[in-house]
Chains A and B, each alone.
Chain A
Amino acid sequence: KQEVTQIPAALSVPEGENLVLNCSFTDSAIYNLQWFRQDPGKGLTSLLLIQSSQREQTSGRLNASLDKSSGRSTLYIAASQPGDSATYLCAGMNSGYSTLTFGKGTMLLVSP
């Protein structure tokens, strides 16, 4: 059974800092790993999807990496802004399913 853990649970940084969010998973038979953003009381916005055959994906100031052998993924946010404040969730999709196993998220606060 896949288990996903995110560290840290909360992070507070000043505007402009580069930061890294960590995600670990127990089952390496992972089809893909997805990173989402959630604003309070809202749904999930997809940020990046990394396929099992890929090592990283980039979108703007965001870069996500995947290391299946170690069971880890990281989300790197460059030059953080107050608008980046949200909860970031990582989720793994295992082979043969269209469903995700989620971590509990990292709550990020970027102060002006």
Chain B
Amino acid sequence: KAGVTQTPRYLIKTRGQQVTLSCSPISGHRSVSWYQQTPGQGLQFLFEYFSETQRNKGNFPGRFSGRQFSNSRSEMNVSTLELGDSALYLCASSLGSRGNNEKLFFGSGTQLSVL
């Protein structure tokens, strides 16, 4: 069974540009959530999508957005990049059952560097 696939693995952008990251969840999983990881702040929740609808959102500015397609694949977009957006962006997939056995499976991440 294939795991969570994130592309690209590395990305270098300059300030002011925008970027789109992609995540393909495990087959059968309907929930995709995104996390930002930085040395200073650790792992922070960005948003969660379930059946093409944003179900939960973290405390990030509107420059961070996402969407989910009918096949559960998800994309995350960051517009007007800032130096502070440099981070490892991790995608997690799960069944989305919200039960106490709900387990998240993470991809390898996209390392974004903003110059």
Contact = CB atoms under 8 A, between A and B. Distances in A.
Contacts of B107: 43
Contact of B99 (A31, A42, A44): A31
A49 B104 CA distance: 10
A52 interface: yes
A24 B87 CA distance: 25
Contact of A99 (B6, B56, B97): B56
Interface stretch (B14-22, B43-51, B68-76, B78-86): B43-51
Contacts, number: 71
Interface of B: 4, 6, 31, 33, 35, 42-45, 48, 50, 55-56, 88, 90, 92, 94, 96-109, 111
Given A31-B99, A31-B100, A99-B33, 18 more contacts: A31-B98, A41-B88, A42-B109, A44-B92, A49-B101, A91-B43, A93-B100, A96-B98, A98-B31, A98-B48, A98-B55, A98-B56, A98-B97, A99-B48, A100-B104, A101-B45, A102-B35, A102-B42
26 contacts: A31-B98, A31-B102, A32-B101, A34-B104, A42-B108, A43-B4, A43-B90, A45-B106, A46-B104, A52-B100, A91-B43, A93-B102, A96-B98, A97-B48, A98-B33, A98-B50, A98-B56, A98-B96, A98-B98, A99-B33, A100-B45, A100-B104, A102-B35, A102-B42, A102-B44, A105-B42
